[in-house]
């Protein structure tokens, strides 16, 4: 006998709760949540590695303090199993669907179509039936950092910042291998790979 909970229900009630269908094909029991690695700065200091200046310069102490908090794996699984990315392409698809439903909307603005204006890319999902939206601003608030800084992609060796990288991290020798960099920079690289880019 099938229980009523076996059905997937899409929709919402007047109370604002919504049960969205799952968007991923991985069974929830085999879906593993990778928890960020906490960093013990006091222990690093006792072992001769004081990274306070570097972490302060990036205003990241609050973020590292957050990593020591709890992780609610079931809520994370519930969120990601139903998540969808809402970006510019999704917004255009939404407009196209509105025009298919009502051809008189062709050429009108999103507001005239009765749609919310598109401001930025979002990750949309629900957690225990409550709609949740994640944006870049939400991430910066959760990490307790300011939404500033630069992210450079596919830079070449001729980029002006590469001179700083070679001078500071590689001690002026571009032939230096990563295993030969100093301990502080090696630890910062470890933070990068284990706390940010898992």
pLDDT confidence of residue 197 = 63
30-67 pLDDT tens trace: 888 877 767 888 888 898 888 888 888 888 888 888 87
% pLDDT > 90, the chain? 23
pLDDT confidence of residue 84 = 92
Is residue 48 domain-resident? no
Stretch 140-164: mean pLDDT: 80
How many Cβ atoms from other residues are within 10 Å of residue 61's Cβ?
A: 15
pLDDT confidence of residue 12 = 45
Is residue 157 domain-resident? yes
Q: What is the CA radius of gyration of the chain?
A: 23
Is residue 173 domain-resident? yes
DSSP symbols for the chain: ---GGGS---EE-TTS-EEPPP---S-GGG-PPPPPPP--HHHHHHTT---HHHHHHTT-HHHHHHHTS---HHHHHHHHHT-EEE-HHHHHHHHHHHHHH-GGGTT--TTTTT-PPP-S-EEEEEETTEEEEE-HHHHHHHTT--S------S--TTSHHHHHHHHHTSTT-TT--GGGS-HHHHHHHHHIIIII--
**Mean pLDDT of all residues belonging to the chain:** 81
Overall number of domains in the chain: 1
59 contacts: CB under 8 Å, gap ≥ 6: 145, 146
Higher pLDDT, 105 or 10: 105
For residue 11, name the pLDDT band (cuts at 50, 70, 90): very low
111-120 pLDDT tens trace: 999 998 899 9
Higher pLDDT, 132 or 29: 132
% pLDDT > 70, the chain? 88
Is residue 170 domain-resident? yes
Is residue 178 domain-resident? yes
The domain of 188 spans: 150-198
Is residue 182 domain-resident? yes
Is residue 191 domain-resident? yes
Higher pLDDT, 151 or 83: 83
Is residue 188 domain-resident? yes
């Amino acid at each position: 006998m099938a229980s009523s909970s076996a059905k997937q229900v899409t929709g919402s009630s007047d109370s604002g709760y919504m049960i969205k269908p799952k968007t991923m094909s991985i069974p929830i029991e085999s879906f593993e949540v990778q928890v960020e690695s906490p960093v013990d700065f006091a222990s690093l200091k006792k072992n001769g590695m004081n990274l306070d200046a570097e972490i302060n310069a990036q205003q990241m102490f609050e973020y590292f303090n957050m990593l020591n908090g709890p992780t609610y794996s079931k809520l994370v699984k519930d969120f990601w199993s139903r998540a969808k990315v809402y970006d510019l392409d999704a917004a255009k698809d939404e407009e196209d669907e509105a025009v298919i439903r009502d051809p008189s909307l062709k050429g009108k603005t999103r507001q005239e179509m009765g749609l919310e204006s598109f401001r930025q890319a979002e990750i949309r999902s629900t957690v225990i039936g409550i709609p949740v939206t994640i944006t870049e601003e939400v991430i910066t608030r959760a990490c307790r950092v300011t939404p500033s800084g630069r992210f450079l992609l596919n830079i070449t060796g001729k980029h002006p910042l590469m001179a700083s990288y070679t001078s500071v991290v590689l001690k002026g020798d571009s032939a230096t291998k990563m295993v030969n960099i100093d301990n502080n920079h090696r630890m910062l690289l470890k933070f990068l790979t284990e706390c940010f880019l898992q």
